[in-house]
Amino acid sequence: MGYSSKLVEQAVEALSMLPGVGKKTALRLALFLVEQDEDQVKSFSEAVWKMRSEILHCTTCHNLSDTVQCAVCLDERRNRQLICVVESFKDVMAIEETGQFNGVYHVLGGVISPIEGVGPEQLNIDTLIHRVKDQSEEPPELIMAISPTIEGETTIFYLSKQLKDLSVKISTIARGVSFGGELEYADELTLGRSIIARIPYEK
Amino acid sequence: MGYSSKLVEQAVEALSMLPGVGKKTALRLALFLVEQDEDQVKSFSEAVWKMRSEILHCTTCHNLSDTVQCAVCLDERRNRQLICVVESFKDVMAIEETGQFNGVYHVLGGVISPIEGVGPEQLNIDTLIHRVKDQSEEPPELIMAISPTIEGETTIFYLSKQLKDLSVKISTIARGVSFGGELEYADELTLGRSIIARIPYEK
């Protein structure tokens, strides 16, 4: 590029690391930032760095958290007998958005994928087993909210084997045709399974 | 939004100040950044802040610059008799990209716009007049590379009045149908003017 400022060039380089931001967009963003008040750019840059440097992972469920334990785990009203097992903190956000779940979470940090070199030991599985064992009250229920891919299914299978001697109920989230989705566009597997797993109609 | 981290929320707030970035995209960017190495996010944040805090404006032409005088003004091979007058440093970049200009620049920092409260005194016009007066050699040529809007034309007119007693040549960049542009899609004004300002065909 033909601009002669090393400072701008370095900022463009930095901004183009963002997903979906190429060199042209990065330049547009940099030139926007260079025109803003110094205070504003300072808080911009600080907010990003503060987030990355101060964010913690909840010691109980491994969710992103500002504190040692995350807001969900600290919430007294949550049902601790109901543990939703997810792949990443993004899934926690997605499920929290629905407002339909009042249990707690366990973030695995990925799924078992031999191709990508991710084995069970890289995931937060030990802590999950400890959590299940530590339950003094009635046996907990684990809801597997994991992507229905081969890796996801493998992970659920592995977890169920690890947990089979413990007193625990395991379920997976319902698969089916999505609300507002048209039947003709649903893939065969989903459509097929949603017929097998049909639900009695409530009048 | 349903995420419970104040740190993430503040980063989303910051990122959504960027042009074309809404809350959803900002969240995606924030979650991307939170997953990157700490070092990378540190250099990201530093590059942006360093650019904004250390960038200077060239004391001669007001272009963005890392140094007291910009790289263009410092370049010995540039023709100092040929001054291209532009609205913003973005125009300097655009013209530099073409590689067709070997003169120097003068960045006005805007155009005269009574509606937006921009008068001549807010623009870098004094320094332009000084530059023209300081020319000891042959009279300089000012190329007005300013947007063909009412404000732009007003600015050019104002500048030409201010400069009329000085020994200076004034030109404006050629207006016409763009290369690769189809005649039927050109606006009437451009097409009309490009017929009036027709150029003898060189065989």
The separation between CA A149 and the C-alpha centre of its own chain, rounded to angstroms, equals 15
Contact yes or no for A30/B51 (Cβ under 8 A): yes
Nearest to B73 by CA among B86, B59, B87: B59
Using CA atoms, how far apart are residues B142 and B132, in angstroms rounded to an integer?
Answer: 9
B168 and B82 share one domain: yes
Nearest to B50 by CA among A33, A51, A4: A33
ipTM passes above 0.95:
no
| Residue numbers of A between 61 and 120 with CB closer than 8 Å to B | 64-66, 70-72, 89-90, 93, 96-97, 99
Q: Give the CATH number of the domain where residue B31 resides.
A: 1.10.8.420
User: What is the total count of domains within chain B?
Assistant: 2
A80 and A166 share one domain: yes
Choose the closest CB to A64 out of B34, B55, B90.
B34
Using CA atoms, how far apart are residues B195 and B198, in angstroms rounded to an integer?
Answer: 5
The SS3 call for residue B143 is strand
Residues of chain A falling short of pLDDT 50: 1-2
CB of A17 within 8 Å of any CB in chain B?
yes
A68 and A147 share one domain: yes
- When pLDDT is cut at 50, 70 and 90, the band that residue B31 belongs to is very high
Region B54-71: mean pLDDT is 93
pLDDT digits (tens, 9 = 90+) for A143-175: 999 988 899 999 999 999 999 888 889 998 888
- The reply to whether B12 falls in a domain is yes
- The reply to whether B44 falls in a domain is yes
The SS3 call for residue B186 is coil
A104 and A18 share one domain: no
DSSP annotation string for B81-129: EEEEEESSHHHHHHHHHHT---EEEEE-SS--BTTTTB-GGGSTTHHHH
- Count how many Cα atoms sit within 13 Å of the Cα of residue A27 in the half-sphere of its side chain: 13
- The reply to whether A178 falls in a domain is no
Provide the shortest C-alpha distance from residue B64 to chain A (in Å): 7
Query: What pLDDT was estimated at residue B4?
Result: 66
Nearest to A178 by CA among A202, A154, A156, A148: A148
Q: Give the CATH number of the domain where residue B110 resides.
A: 3.40.1360.10
- The reply to whether B187 falls in a domain is no
A103 and A133 share one domain: yes
* CA distances, B84 to each of B23, B30, B169 (Å): 40, 41, 12
Q: Which residues of B29-41 are buried (b: 16+ CB within 10 A; e: fewer)?
A: bbbebbeeeeeeb
Better-scored residue on pLDDT, A201 or B145: B145
pLDDT digits (tens, 9 = 90+) for B64-85: 999 999 999 999 999 999 999 9
Query: What pLDDT was estimated at residue A1?
Result: 42
B123 and B74 share one domain: yes
Region B136-157: mean pLDDT is 88
Sign (positive/negative) of CA torsion A73, A79, A85, A88? negative
Nearest CA in chain A to B2: A97
**What are the helix (H) ranges across B6-37?**
6-15, 23-35
Q: Which of A23, A41, A51 best probes binding to B when mutated, by most B CB atoms within 10 angstroms?
A: A51
The separation between CA A99 and the C-alpha centre of its own chain, rounded to angstroms, equals 16
Query: What pLDDT was estimated at residue A195?
Result: 81
pLDDT at B139 exceeding the cut of 90: no
A32 and A68 share one domain: no
- The reply to whether B33 falls in a domain is yes
- The reply to whether A192 falls in a domain is no
A99 and A168 share one domain: yes
A133 and A100 share one domain: yes
Residues paired with B141 in a beta bridge: B82, B169
- The reply to whether A139 falls in a domain is yes
DSSP annotation string for A100-146: ---EEEEE-SS--BGGGTB-GGGSTTHHHHHHHHH--SSPPEEEEE-
Choose the closest CB to B49 out of A8, A32, A42.
A42
Query: What pLDDT was estimated at residue B1?
Result: 42
B30 and B82 share one domain: no
Which domain covers residue B138, as residue numbers?
A: 64-172
Nearest CA in chain B to A47: B11
A82 and A146 share one domain: yes
B68 and B162 share one domain: yes
pLDDT at B151 exceeding the cut of 60: yes
| Token output for A180 | 């507002």
Subunit contact A96:B40, Cβ cutoff 8 A: no
- The reply to whether B127 falls in a domain is yes
Contact yes or no for A61/B17 (Cβ under 8 A): no
pLDDT digits (tens, 9 = 90+) for A50-65: 999 999 999 999 999 9
